[in-house]
Amino acid sequence: GENVEQHPSTLSVQEGDSAVIKCTYSDSASNYFPWYKQELGKRPQLIIDIRSNVGEKKDQRIAVTLNKTAKHFSLHITETQPEDSAVYFCAASKGSASKIIFGSGTRLSIRP
């Protein structure tokens, strides 16, 4: 069935360093890949998304890459800051109001 695998489950980086979270998806029909950030007790917030016709997308310190052939996609956060500490979820969808399949999450901690 449809599945999204995410790793690592926890990640601790020094403030100012980069963080990378990797995901794989199983359904080759997936064409929309959002990333959500969820702080403790709060709603998942969309931070960046990428569609299958694009290989890379960047928004300030955040970038996402997609390899359709390998069915891999990754989130890169550069120059990490304390407010980047949260749980990050990758997800995959067939787009156009389809359901979203989430990964299991990565708890990112930024060490001062």
Partner 1 sequence: DAGVTQSPTHLIKTRGQQVTLRCSPKSGHDTVSWYQQALGQGPQFIFQYYEEEERQRGNFPDRFSGHQFPNYSSELNVNALLLGDSALYLCASSLPGEGTQYFGPGTRLLVL
**Which residues contribute to the site for partner 1 (CB under 8 A)?**
6, 32, 34, 36, 42-46, 49, 89, 91, 93-105
Minimum distance, C-beta of residue 93 to partner 1, in the bound complex (Å): 5
- Rounded to an integer, what distance in angstroms lies between the CA atom of residue 88 and that of residue 94? 20
Nearer to partner 1, 45 or 81 (CB): 45
Q: Tell me how far, at minimum, the Cβ of 79 lies from partner 1, in Å.
A: 26
For residue 58, the minimal CB distance to partner 1 (Å) is 18
**60: DSSP letter:** T
For partner 1, give the closer residue by CB, 8 or 16: 8
* Nearest residue (CB) to partner 1, 68 versus 78: 68
DSSP state of 82: G
Considering the complex, state which of residue 81 and residue 104 has its C-beta at the smaller distance from partner 1: 104
Give the count of alpha carbons within 13 A of 107, CB side only. 3
Please report how close the Cβ of residue 70 comes to partner 1 at its closest, in angstroms.
Answer: 21
Residues forming beta bridges with residue 5, ordered by sequence position: 24
Cα–Cα distance, 30 to 18 (Å, whole number) = 28
Structural contact between residues 63 and 57, judged by C-beta atoms closer than 8 angstroms: yes
